A and B are shown apart, each in its own frame.
Chain A
C-alpha cells in the first residue's frame, strides 16, 4: 500500500506532464480499441457462419450462374439434409448510397437453414404466401422507416429495371452477431421477371446453400458435389460458409493488413511519448536516486519505482480509454451501421488493450531505468536537477 502511494505521489509530482501523458495514452488506447473493433466487424460475417452450411457456386467466378437443375442432383448426395438457392440481386433503394445486401432466395428452405433469423410465425406465413413479398432485418427497417404492407421499389443494377416488393415480415437476430440489415425476397419472383425478358440468368441461380447432416461430413459432401459437376458447362466450387466468407475478406486483404499494421503503429507512437515522459522524470530525479542508493536501497528498488510509476501512468490512461471506448463504438455503430452490421466491442479487445498498455509501460521504462541504476552515487549527488 505504502509502495503504491509513493508511486502515485511520484507520478503526479509534475501534474501537467502526467496529465498530458495520460491523455495521450487514453487517445492511443481508444484508437487501438476502435481499430481492433473495426477489424472484428470486418470478420463478423465469418464468425456468424455455421459449420453445417456449405455454399456452392460457379467455379469460374462468383459472377457466373449455376443452372437450377443442379438442385435435385445436389439433394441426392449423401449427407445433404437441405438445399436452398439464391441470387445476389444488387438492387439499389432510391440511391446507391443506401446500400444494403439483398438476395433473391427460395424462402422456405432458406429460412430453415438460417435459424438465427427469427421471424414471427404469422409474418413468416404471410411472406411464404406472397410471391412479391420480402422480409428484412430489424435494423434495415428502422433505417428506412418501412411498415408491414409497404411497397418498396428496388432498382436492379445487374437485373435491369424497377422491381416492386411488399414488406411481409421483419426478422430479428438470434444473438448480437447476427446481421440484421439484410433483405430477402422470392427467387421465383425474380426468375419470372427474368424469363419474361429473356435474360440469360433465367432458370439460373447465383449460389446453392446446403445444409449437411453433421459438420464432420462437410468436406466429403463438398467434394462429392464438385465431382458430380466436373466437366460440365458450369463446374462448381463448394466450400463451407466460413471459408466462403473468408474468401471475401481475403480479397481486400492488403488493406486489411494495412489497418492491422497501423493499429500497432499507434501503440509505438504512444510508446515514444511515454518513454519521453519517463526519461524526463528520471533525469530530474537523478539526485534522489543517488540519495536512495546512499541509504542502502538497491538497483532493484529503484527499478521498481520507475517501472511502477510508468505502469501507473499507462494504466490510468488505459482505463480512461476503455471507458471512452464504449460510447465511441456506439457513435461509430450509428454512423457506419450500413457497412458494418455488427460493431461490438469484444472482451478480447479489452484484454489486448490491457496487454498493450503494460507492454508500453515496460518498454518505456527500460532506458530511463538503466540510466538511473548505472549512475554512480557521487555523480548523482553532484548533479543539480
Chain B
C-alpha cells in the first residue's frame, strides 16, 4: 500500500515558510523560462501573421529585407505582365509596387528617436493585405501628401495623432487615418502614396513588388521562370516565408538568451529544492523508521518523498505560469536587428509553452528530490527508530 498523498500535503503545510520559499524560487525560474519563450513566440507569430501564403514578394537578388532591396520601374512593368496574377473585384490585377524607407520618429516617454518603416502603397496594396483595417479617419487620397499610421506606431510614438502634421523630405504629411493590422508587423508601419514617397525621397525605383497568385500551386513554376529571366535580377518569395525569415535572427537570439538564463537559474532552484527535501528527510528520520516498521516498503518511502518534491515543482510551475500569463497584456516594442526598424509584439502564451514550462518545473522538482528521497528509502529501520 502506498503512503497517502495527504501525508505530503500536511508535511508541506507544517513547514509553510520553507515551502513557500522553495516554491517561490522555482516559480521565478519558470516565470523567466516561460516569458522568454513567450517573447520569441510573440515575435515569430507577429511576423508570420504579417504575410499571406497566396502573396508573392519580389526583391532584388540577395536582399534580405525590403529596406535594402531595389526594383526598377522597367522590371516592375515586366512583372505586371505575368499571367499568374489574380484579378480583383474591379477586374484589375492584384499587384502593388511599393517603396519602403526608414525614418526616425521620437518615441513617447523617452523621446528617443527610433526607426519606423514608411511604406509607399498603391490602391491595391490594401486588397493584398486583408488584415489591415481602418480604425479612425479615412484612407489617404492617392496623389496627395496624406498618410495613415499603424496602431502600434500611434500608441508608441509622439506626434502621430489624427490630423497632425509630420515633416520629412522637405514636405508636410498629414495623418488622415489610423489603421489596425491585428498582431501583424504592418501595425508598426506608416503608409502613404508610393509615387509621392518616391518623389519626396528621390528614389528612382521601387523596393518591392507584391502580387496575389491566382493559383497558389503555380508558385514554383512562376519563380523559376522569373528568376531565370535575364531582364530581372529579382528573387521571388512567398510573403509568409519572407516575413518568417525576418524573425529568425531575433527569435534565435531571444531563445538562446532565455535558454542560457534558465539553465543557470534552474541550477539555483534545484539546489533550493534539494535543501528543502534533505531537511525534510533529516527532520523525519524517526517518522520514516516508524513507517517502515509499520510495513511500508522502501519503494513506498522513495515514492512518497519524490511525490512531495514533484508537488513542490508542480506548485512552483503553476504559480510561475500564472505570473507569466499576466505578461500577455504587455506589448513590447523594439528594433528588429534584421530590418533595423521598430516592431511591436506581444508576449504570446501557447499551449506548447505551458507544456514545456510544466515539464521543466517537474524536472526541477524531480532532480531536486531524487537524492534526498533515495537517502530516506535506504535507511535502516532500527537506526532510524533510535534517532530522536
The answer to whether A and B belong to the same complex is yes
Is there contact, CB below 8 Å, between B25 and A273?
Answer: yes
Whether A4 is near chain B, meaning CB under 8 Å from some CB there, is: no
Per a CB cutoff under 8 Å, which of B21, B62, B101 touches A275? B21
Q: Shortest Cβ distance from A269 into chain B, in angstroms?
A: 5
B267 touches A233 (CB 8 A): no
Shortest CB distance A367–B (Å): 7
- Distance of A22 from chain B, by nearest CB (Å): 10
Residues of chain B lying within 8 A (CB to CB) of residue A28: 268
- CB of A266 within 8 A of CB of B265, answer yes
A270 at the interface (CB under 8 A from B): yes
Measured CB to CB, the nearest residue on chain A to B332 is A254
| Contact residues in A for B257 (Cβ distance below 8 Å) | 259
Q: If the complex has contacts A259-B257, A279-B21, are A157 and B337 also in contact, measured as CB distance less than 8 A?
A: no
Cβ B269 vs Cβ A60 within 8 A: no
- DSSP majority for the A interface? helix
Contacts of B283 in A (CB 8 A): 284
- Interface size class of chain A, counting residues whose CB lies under 8 Å from the partner chain: 35 or more
Q: Are the C-beta atoms of B103 and A61 separated by less than 8 Å? A: yes
In the assembled complex, the Cα of A284 lies from the Cα of B388 at a distance in Å of 13
| Contact A265–B32 (Cβ < 8 Å) | yes
- Cα A212 to Cα B254 in complex, Å, equals 40
Residue of B nearest to A18 (CB): B275
| Residues 101 to 143 of chain B near chain A (Cβ within 8 Å) | 101-104, 110, 112-115
- On whether the beta carbons of B115 and A251 are closer than 8 Å, the reply is yes
Residues of the B chain whose Cβ atoms lie less than 8 Å from the Cβ of A14: 279, 282
Find chain A residues with CB under 8 A from B17 CB: 276, 279, 367
B358 in contact (CB, < 8 A): no
Contact B265 A251 (CB under 8 A): no
A251 x B114 contact (CB < 8 A): yes
Minimal beta-carbon separation of B63 from chain A (angstroms): 8
- CB-CB under 8 A for A262 and B32, given A160-B62, A253-B334, A384-B388: yes
| In the complex, A231 has a CB within 8 A of chain B | yes
How far apart are the CA atoms of A233 and B18 in the complex, in Å? Answer: 68
**A200-B204 in contact (CB<8A):** yes
**How far is it, in angstroms, between the C-alpha of A250 and the C-alpha of B264 when the chains are bound?**
27
Docked-complex contact B271 and A23, CB < 8 angstroms: yes
Residue pair A63, B101 in contact (C-beta under 8 Å): yes
- B322 interface residue, CB < 8 Å from A? no
Contact check, B272 vs A24: say whether CB atoms are below 8 A apart.
yes
Q: How far apart are the CA atoms of A24 and B388 in the complex, in Å?
A: 30
| 10 pairs of A and B residues whose beta carbons are closest in the complex | A272-B25, A251-B335, A254-B334, A273-B272, A24-B271, A276-B21, A250-B112, A31-B264, A61-B102, A272-B21
Where the two chains meet, the residues of A that have a C-beta atom closer than 8 Å to any C-beta of B are 14, 16-17, 20-21, 23-24, 27-28, 30-31, 59-64, 90, 157-158, 160, 200, 231, 233, 235, 247, 250-255, 258-259, 262, 265-266, 268-270, 272-273, 275-277, 279-280, 284, 367, 384
Other A-B pairs, 19, CB within 8 Å; known A262-B32, A270-B268: A14-B279, A17-B278, A20-B271, A20-B274, A20-B278, A31-B261, A62-B115, A63-B67, A64-B101, A157-B64, A160-B60, A250-B110, A251-B114, A253-B334, A273-B268, A273-B271, A276-B272, A277-B275, A280-B276
